[in-house]
Structures are given as structure tokens and as C-alpha cells.
Amino acid sequence: MLRQITDQVKRIDVNPFPGADILSVSQFDRPRLEWLFARALEMQDMVKRDGGSDLLRHKLMVALFYEPSTRTSSSFIAAMERLGGSTVPITQGVQYSSVSKGESLPDTVRTLEQYSDVIVLRHPEIGSARIAADYCRKPIINAGDGAGEHPTQALLDLFTIQKELGRIDKLRIAMVGDLKYGRTVHSLTRLLLQYDVELAFVSPELVRLPLDLMNEVRKSGISVEETYHVADVISWADVLYVTRVQKERFSDLSQYEEIKNFYEITPEIMAQAQEQMIVMHPLPRVGEIAYSVDNDPRAAYFRQMENGMYIRMAILAAVLGKL
């Protein structure tokens, strides 16, 4: 049975994030989420109508990426530039920066804050964004800290569910794949605990959802199931959130090889799904969703990527105090 969540979600009218670091989804309650989603929709309308604005003119963002990225780095850069701001991308590998000479993260962010107004950081270690924020006077936005969190991805994921299905409450959401190392799953799950949803976690034994997070889910009172098989959830789910097995997090690559091809969403599997369900993926994919699924209208992962730019435009404008 779906649990009761109050319908009385207080509205926020004033920007709750000026000057804030964005480190974790724990900073986002429902009123803040609704406020952000409304601003992201305004950004979408503005881009479709005008292509961009000069809201962030003379503001500068550094994209500091210690790990590879296509979507997060480029959508943050696109977001800043659509709003008339400028960017310093350190995204081609920090080996070309003074990090390769041994410069610490605190010194690196204290350097970059001299030139910029906001720093977007991706780093392989859990907690790195928090450390950077402790040393930096300018807002730090966590673009993924190891197997920890990826808050802006979770925000765009939730925004996508809301846009695609018109609501979040009363939905049945199945997370599939690497639930141990998939930071997007961790962040999205924590956001979903604020809603009246049912969850299912589908993974090989080796990469089950971490116990502390599963305990959080159970404590919240949400209805939750765990299984190894997509077949157990495919006709039940409103949202199938598929993830890649995170090869880069395995110390024993033979374990990765054992499970890397565990799941593949194919047209045959999609034939068992509801007509209105959506398939999402934070991407990149490496075989979890067949390319032959891409033309299915329920394949939402390309629209999901586009939504990322609008969410990141709203976040940048918010932390820079321009909303």
C-alpha cells in the first residue's frame, strides 16, 4: 500500500540558495524542489523562446573535473553560457593542471576562487565536495564525489519524472543495475523518500544497494522490494531507472566481468511494460539498454539529458543570487 504523505507542501517564493554550496540532496525538501523545478521550467521556456539571456553576464564558473564526464561538464558549461556567463573548463583531465604536481584539493579550489564566482567539482573520493566547500569562499557544486552523491543528476532525474508523468507521488519506481556504486541511485533514492512512492531495487548480489541506504528506505516506511530479475518488476513499474555497472569502482575486475552484462533492456522486455512507463538512464550506457529501444516513445533518457541543462541553469542562477 502507498504510504500517506501530507498534501500540504508549503510553497517557497524567495530563492533559498543564494551563496549556497550544493553538496547533497539532503539540502532539498519538497518546497525547495518545487521552487527549483518551477525555475527550471522557466529556463526551458526562455531557451526555447530566446535561446538564452544575460542573467549571469560577468559571472564566471570553473568546471573542475578530476574524473571523466560528458553530460555533467558540458551541460553545466552550456547552462552558464546560455545565461550569458563565462566558463573555465578544467575537464580534459587535471593532469594538465598543477594537480599533477601534487597540488591539494584545498589549494586548488582556493586558487580557482580567486578568478571565479562558482566552482563545479567532480572528484573520485566520497566527501571531496564537502572538503572543497570547507576551504572555498565561493559556492561549490558537487558534480559527483566517487560512489557518494551526484545531487544535480538526482534533481534532473526527479524533474524528468515530474515532467514525463505529471507527478511523483503514487508512482512505482524500479532501479536496475549497479546499486552499490551508482551514486545517481543513492541521491535519487534519498530524494524519493520524501514522496509517496513504491520502490524496487534490481541488481546482481555483488552490487546490491548499500545496507545503510536500504535501512534508511525501510525506516521511511516506503514499500520496497529487492530482486535480481527485471522480469519481476517490468509490468509493475511506472519508471525503470537503469544504470551502468561502474567498472572504475571495482578493485577486482574479475567481479566486474562477472556482472557487466547482467541486464539488457530490449524491445522484447519493453513489450511487457506498461504503455505509460518511462525508461531512464543517467548515461553513459555500455550495453544496459539496446539501441533498438531508443525510438520507443517511453525511452526518456535523451529528454532526461536535455532537462539537465535547465536544472543546472536554475541552480547556477540560484546560487549566484540572480533569481
Q: Which are the catalytic amino acids?
A: 71-72, 101, 122, 150
Quote the crossing angle between the two packed helices 151-165 and 30-50, to the nearest 10°: 80
β-bridge partners, 150: none
| CB 65 to ligand CP: min, Å | 8
Identify which of residues 25 and 283 has a Cβ nearer to ligand CP in the complex.
283
10 Å CB burial of residue 284 (0-12, 13-18, 19+) is: exposed
| Cβ–Cβ under 8 Å, residues 148 and 186 | yes
* Distance set, CA 56 to CA 5, 29, 82, 84, 260 (Å): 37, 26, 9, 5, 42
239 φ, ψ (degrees, to nearest 5): -135, 125
| CB 8 to ligand CP: min, Å | 34
| CB 69 to ligand CP: min, Å | 3
Identify which of residues 72 and 116 has a Cβ nearer to ligand CP in the complex.
72
Element (H, E) at 308: helix 301-319
As given in the structure block, the three cell numbers for residue 42 are: 522557466
* Distance set, CA 98 to CA 93, 150, 224 (Å): 11, 25, 46
Binding site for ligand CP (CB under 6 A): 69-72, 144, 153, 282-284
Identify which of residues 155 and 222 has a Cβ nearer to ligand CP in the complex.
155
C-alpha 175: how far from chain center = 14
Identify which of residues 283 and 320 has a Cβ nearer to ligand CP in the complex.
283
β-bridge partners, 121: 64, 142
How far separated are the first and last CA of the chain, in Å rounded? 39
Identify which of residues 15 and 153 has a Cβ nearer to ligand CP in the complex.
153
Nearest 5°: the CA angle 34, 35, 38 is 85
| CB 13 to ligand CP: min, Å | 31
Amino acid identity for residue 174 in this structure: A
| CB 102 to ligand CP: min, Å | 26
| CB 315 to ligand CP: min, Å | 15
| Cβ–Cβ under 8 Å, residues 262 and 288 | no
DSSP 63: E
Identify which of residues 204 and 282 has a Cβ nearer to ligand CP in the complex.
282
